Amino acid sequence: MRILLLLLFTLAAIQVSAQSDTCFDPNSKAYYRCERSIERICADHLIDDLIELEEKLLTVHPDPYAYCGKEAFGEAYKKAFNYYSEDRTMIQHAQNLNRFIRVVEDSHLQTHVYRLLFESCGYDSGFLPLFIQPIDGKFYVEETQIGGPPFGSEILSVGKLSMTELHKLAKEWSVDEGNAMNASDEAAAYYYTPAHFFANPLQNDWDVETIVFRVDNKIDSVEVQLVDIKQLQKIRREHFKPNKKNIEATFYLNEDKAVLTVRSFSSRPFQNDVKKIRKFFQAARELGILHIAIDVRDNPGGSSSMVEYLCSFLTPSGLNTPSNIIWKASDYSYQIVSNFRMKHFPEFTEKRFKRSEDMYQYYLLSQTPLEESDTAFFSIPQRQRKEHVYTGKMAVFMNGNTVSAACDFAQLLQSNHRAILIGTPCNATTNGTWGNATTVQLSESGISYSVPTIRYNYKNTFSYSRTPILPNIPLEQSLEDLKSGKDTVLEYFIQN
């Protein structure tokens, strides 16, 4: 099939070569001196990229056909290939490759969008920082850092794009895993800025953009000055506030309730989080807390060991996760577990890892021959002494940006009837997810992707059904609470 496509492309290229404008080799000095956001790359280089991307997916990903099937995967590849009947810009190329990988329906398989933005822009490119929250199909300002529309106002359009169109473009860069639910509608907000730039690659940092908005039932507009790349990075750092602690505890003593916020299951150093989790449950026990919530909204996942550690405080017998891991051995997956593949003193290394089931199973997987797959099974959960276990009522806050191990945590408590889930569906299915993503960079364009190297299964049935992890109490941020600075999910938990 691939040879036939190459022959068809060669014939088409001969036909259009006479009227083609200049195109570039993406690795040439001439390309890096040109206006990369608008100049075109020669189609043969782009096809090499597509071929390499397909080969990497089939080599690295544990099962790219799991949700879409081999036929749909092949059709997506063919459609992506046919797009190169002419030369394309870097942005067009990245969008085409992204459309291809979305067929896999894996939230871990993603284009590094902001890296693409930084690499495809020019020295004087202008950007529009957009912090907008979708609510009930409309779009509201959640933070004003650029002197634009007031906080809480409804955005109708940004420049030549209606907000609905911009949202659709941004949503292209996010994925609903297994097509389970519309988590991508929430995740799209993260990509409004690059989506706006990709649609307007000629804008400069001295340009202005017109934003039309509605406030108090009146339509108004404002011109906003675009920012340069350094200003954009600074604004994003301030918005996401990396100085926030990964583990935070809040106690509501009048209501006998407490909330433990876990922003990630993969922070460093790990031991700091272990101490904070232990102290939280100790304080909850001493204060007589009757109802606890674990907030994993916007949690990107991380270590299953940390998930199990947290769960060890919630049931006397602990909760084991995952049930098994499917591993596909490749140079990329070996990089993820390089610490398990010590070439010297192998007997000593194996003996050391045998002390922990999790560690030892990873050690065995890391010995899998290249290009082969294997499965590791887990059955021994972490446990705490009985007096350290919290047995009161439990809730978990989640949303569409709850991913990977954080979804693992949510479904684990729900399926074991240990907690109710409050919020919006997280981005995984009830049978499992993917994990241990590595970075793959294409040789021609340099576009980077995260690609998972293992499959987490919550049960030993090895099912790939598309059943979503649904909240017991569906609840999203209301416009009234946004305007008043309240957290709708948290308010519900406190009052109920």
pLDDT single digits (tens) 189-210: 999 999 999 999 999 999 999 9
Written as six digits, the tokens of 120 are 């495809």
| φ, ψ of residue 62 in degrees (nearest 5) | -60, -35
Contact 106, 301 (CB under 8 A): no
State the Cα–Cα distance between residues 421 and 470, nearest whole angstrom: 8
Q: Is 453 exposed, middle or buried (0-12, 13-18, 19+ CB in 10 A)?
A: buried
pLDDT score for 341: 60
Say whether domain 132-240 belongs to CATH 3.90.1150.10: no
- Domain ranges for the chain, please list them: 2-104, 132-240, 247-495
Q: For residues 382 and 311, what is the distance between their CA atoms, to the nearest angstrom?
A: 8
The CATH class of 247-495 is: alpha beta
The per-residue pLDDT for 170 is 97
pLDDT confidence of residue 248: 94
Residue 62 has pLDDT above 90, yes or no: yes
- Its pTM stands at 0.89
pLDDT tens figures, 349-403? 677 777 777 788 888 888 888 888 999 998 889 899 999 999 999 999 999 999 9
pLDDT of residue 21: 66
pLDDT band at 17 (very low <50, low <70, confident <90, very high): very low
Mean pLDDT of 467-484: 93
Q: Where are the beta strands (DSSP E) in 118-207?
A: 132-135, 138-141, 154-158, 161-162
- pLDDT tens digits, 243-302: 578 999 999 999 999 999 999 998 666 788 999 999 999 999 999 999 999 999 999 999
